Structure 1
């Protein structure tokens, strides 16, 4: 592995990248407390208002792999600064919006900032000493989950006690702070794939395929899973993504090197990431509903949005605390072991949730245990990826892995949402998810986590440090290995 960049201050670099990832993830949950009020605030329909959330998902899914590849080509620090620009501009646009169209535009711009997470993880390989690399990767990777967990109570408090526009002015200030920290604390290191071309057709093909797939997944329940629109989007996604795959295999400088992605260590890790993303989001979808359902149902806990967010906040804190321990576990036993342990903890948490779902304390404990497992798993997956790809592909490979996690959460939201909507009961003239529906959702999450354990068990092991990528460089690029020796 290369020596760390001489100008790098390790502590400041890791803190800055973790902060950047957390803020980018907070943007995803920023409008959650406003969902019910958006139609009135923006003078639009409930159906149109849902695009305020959907557009962020779509744009981030498209931009994450593109940002990763551009980081390899142009430099990761430069792309981190580029990602901060739409975060700021999008926040200002949302803060000034009075109708749904500018709000959707602003939320789309905010979604572009999610590229910070894989860029930050990849940059660590260039600037952090070997002995600190695993724990640093674990913390920055877990920032994706930490931001999502902490964003809800923070946004709820601001929305309840101040104007909703304060949420977006606050996020604009955070974007400026991130830009300043990146500018002053993140060193500029040479681009790993400098001189290669950016794959424009590959980027467009992946964008079209992902948009079709995610639109069908996220809007299928609203449009009807058997509707012409939903089925047409699924078919289009399959056709476009197959064509994209053929193109990536034939072009000289692909957006995503599918030959590298097909290596067993990378491929199986990415498949496991889908299931881990699913497992993480199932609990995040069920817990707030149980907390906020009226007590008259017999199983709801009657909490306000703010109170529910506060009950959920310890989960994000646990993720932050567990991540460094996960890095040490990776150093001692390897990232595969850490991933399996993390997913086993997630599965156990769902079993705990089934038993303790009748109290707010029980749900808080469930989320704390589940988030601890997510912290372990999220830190291990990038280490597995970087141990199997050359240095010139680290940002792109991490971007693709982040995309797999995001696809998992999207599929999880659709599947668990379908379960909860089908298993209902009548209460006070309203149709609500039944207690059995919530228990089924928790059991479903447990089952998915068990499947992830089985998949992770098939990840090939490697000897030596798993996070440095030395083995990958030797196998995939003799020139890089020679330069490092």
Structure 2
């Protein structure tokens, strides 16, 4: 291998600049994550803009969550089969097309379709993380994994103030033209900077039935979780969705265990190290999202409540911006920590920092600077945790399953955020005050939600502590590429 400061040689023999690869994949993940929070400033106006009901307009957010959750593990497997670069390029197409469709939409149906297409872009994050194993020197792998993984949070952190500023000072359609332009930029960067590494699972078959079964089961599960508060948790629709999800996912699991080349190798995911990491990922996702729901509301609630801080959407986004940027700052530090102490130690440290951030938020609830500081601490912990989980996964699965395993881990995080949103939403809906004829979440409700966030982070710490140690040098993420080093050296 040539000097890691200039170029690296991929297993295919192609040369590439690791810095360009890392930057491209981090930007791709950030842009994909920005699309998740893109329409948040528009939510109150969507019924008027799209000439529809508030219930229908909520699908503009729900559909992105559903599509991302369903297709992330599928695109991961396609990356292993067809080549990660090829699938990354393919995923930019619906991201760009969906953005253009949303920019041109004047009714709810094309907006929902466009947002669904944007949701496919989330598949770029686990694919990008998996590709790092093929294109980045071992000594840079930990820090690059941490940065690309944290791009999910970085995109969300900077996306809110960016979209709020655009929506406040320009036409709302500009939001989507900007994401279309960003998508085109990512397409060009992937085309020029990402090496065409031969697919690790070339020649294997794609599990179509498994993809349909997993997709159907996840749609039922995520739809029930995301719409439970609106439709009623005891309603026939929600109960039916949960039952259907259980049946479909059990049937899918039975099928995956029977075939030779499954969509997701459940035997691999059942390995103690992988299984425990995925369980921890669910709790980390829950812990992260509690603050994302609570803090913006406290910042924007009127001061007449006695606890609201009366900030505009733009001002609230700017107060939260440093928290998003902290992930970018912490990521390389998390990579170094992983190299010296192992990804398990980094994950445990990260969730403890998250819990400490929630404790700080409870103490400083009444000030804008206090909430900003608390979000900086919480997001620092998220950056550490998010960077360590892919390292744990990639150090424990075969090279032929890297992208699929990362996609499944990303799915676990998404399920965690969905469950976290549902739990916090249910708490805030039950604990309310009446102000001027309007029902608003109470200060007690917010405190309970933040306490839940801290508790979930501590549960994640306990689960992370149970992750078994890998054998020997495999505890270091650099060893995750050991099984490809001989191929690189022989090129």
Specify whether residues 113 and 366 from structure 1 end up closer, same or farther in structure 2 by C-alpha distance, changes over 3 A only. Answer: same
The one of 78, 101, 104 equivalent to 1:93 is 101
Whether the 8 Å contact between 2:157 and 2:320 is mirrored in structure 1 is yes
Matched, 1:381 2:389: yes
Deviations, residues 48-100 of structure 1 (Å, cap 9, x unaligned) = 00000000000001110011000000000000000000000000000000000
Q: What is the distance in 1 between the residues matched to 2:46 and 2:113?
A: 15
The one of 181, 188, 206 equivalent to 1:180 is 188
Q: What is the distance in 2 between the residues matched to 1:129 and 1:57?
A: 34
Q: How does 1:192-341 map to 2 (within 5 A)?
A: 192-341=200-349
How far apart are residue 456 of structure 1 and its match? 0.2
Q: What is the distance in 2 between the residues matched to 1:173 and 1:471?
A: 35
Q: What is the distance in 2 between the residues matched to 1:67 and 1:161?
A: 37
Find the residue that maps to 2:203 and give its secondary structure. Answer: coil
How far apart are residue 461 of structure 1 and its match? 1.2
Gaps of 5+ in 2: 3-7
Q: Which residue of 1 aligns with 2:54?
A: 46
The one of 128, 133, 156 equivalent to 1:148 is 156
Matched, 1:133 2:121: no
Q: Which residue of 1 aligns with 2:473?
A: 464
How far apart are residue 471 of structure 1 and its match? 6.7
Specify whether residues 242 and 484 from structure 1 end up closer, same or farther in structure 2 by C-alpha distance, changes over 3 A only. Answer: farther
Find the residue that maps to 1:426 and give its secondary structure. Answer: strand
Whether the 8 Å contact between 1:65 and 1:403 is mirrored in structure 2 is yes
How far apart are residue 431 of structure 1 and its match? 1.3
Specify whether residues 355 and 203 from structure 1 end up closer, same or farther in structure 2 by C-alpha distance, changes over 3 A only. Answer: same
Q: What is the distance in 2 between the residues matched to 1:460 and 1:7?
A: 36
Whether the 8 Å contact between 1:389 and 1:472 is mirrored in structure 2 is no
The one of 336, 347, 350 equivalent to 1:342 is 350
Q: Which residue of 2 aligns with 1:10?
A: 18
Find the residue that maps to 1:464 and give its secondary structure. Answer: helix
Q: What is the distance in 2 between the residues matched to 1:423 and 1:21?
A: 36
How far apart are residue 291 of structure 1 and its match? 0.2
Q: How does 1:59-74 map to 2 (within 5 A)?
A: 59-74=67-82
Q: Which residue of 2 aligns with 1:162?
A: 170
Q: What is the distance in 1 between the residues matched to 2:160 and 2:436?
A: 28
How far apart are residue 370 of structure 1 and its match? 0.2
Q: What is the distance in 2 between the residues matched to 1:105 and 1:467?
A: 43
Find the residue that maps to 2:473 and give its secondary structure. Answer: coil
Find the residue that maps to 2:16 and give its secondary structure. Answer: coil
Q: What is the distance in 1 between the residues matched to 2:36 and 2:348?
A: 27
Q: What is the distance in 1 between the residues matched to 2:129 and 2:485?
A: 21
Deviations, residues 102-134 of structure 1 (Å, cap 9, x unaligned) = 000000000011100000000000010010000
Instruction: Give the count of matched residue pairs.
Output: 480
Q: What is the distance in 1 between the residues matched to 2:98 and 2:253?
A: 32
How far apart are residue 469 of structure 1 and its match? 7.2
Structure 1 residue runs of 4+, over 6 Å off? 471-474
Q: What is the distance in 2 between the residues matched to 1:356 and 1:24?
A: 32
Q: What is the distance in 1 between the residues matched to 2:394 and 2:193?
A: 23
The one of 409, 414, 421 equivalent to 1:413 is 421
Whether the 8 Å contact between 1:390 and 1:469 is mirrored in structure 2 is no
Gaps of 5+ in 1: 475-479
Deviations, residues 146-197 of structure 1 (Å, cap 9, x unaligned) = 1011100000000000000000001000000000000001010010000000
Q: Which residue of 2 aligns with 1:124?
A: 132
Whether the 8 Å contact between 2:339 and 2:478 is mirrored in structure 1 is no
Find the residue that maps to 1:188 and give its secondary structure. Answer: coil
Q: What is the distance in 2 between the residues matched to 1:467 and 1:301?
A: 45
Whether the 8 Å contact between 2:138 and 2:478 is mirrored in structure 1 is no
Deviations, residues 363-418 of structure 1 (Å, cap 9, x unaligned) = 00010000000000000000000000011100000000000000000000000000
Whether the 8 Å contact between 1:158 and 1:164 is mirrored in structure 2 is yes
The one of 19, 22, 41 equivalent to 2:27 is 19
Q: What TM-score does the superposition give when structure 2 sets the normalisation length?
A: 0.96
Q: What is the distance in 1 between the residues matched to 2:137 and 2:476?
A: 11
Q: What TM-score does the superposition give when structure 1 sets the normalisation length?
A: 0.97
Whether the 8 Å contact between 2:9 and 2:488 is mirrored in structure 1 is no
Matched, 1:354 2:359: no
CA RMSD of aligned residues (A): 1.6
How far apart are residue 466 of structure 1 and its match? 3.8
How far apart are residue 467 of structure 1 and its match? 5.3
How far apart are residue 8 of structure 1 and its match? 1.4
Whether the 8 Å contact between 2:339 and 2:477 is mirrored in structure 1 is no
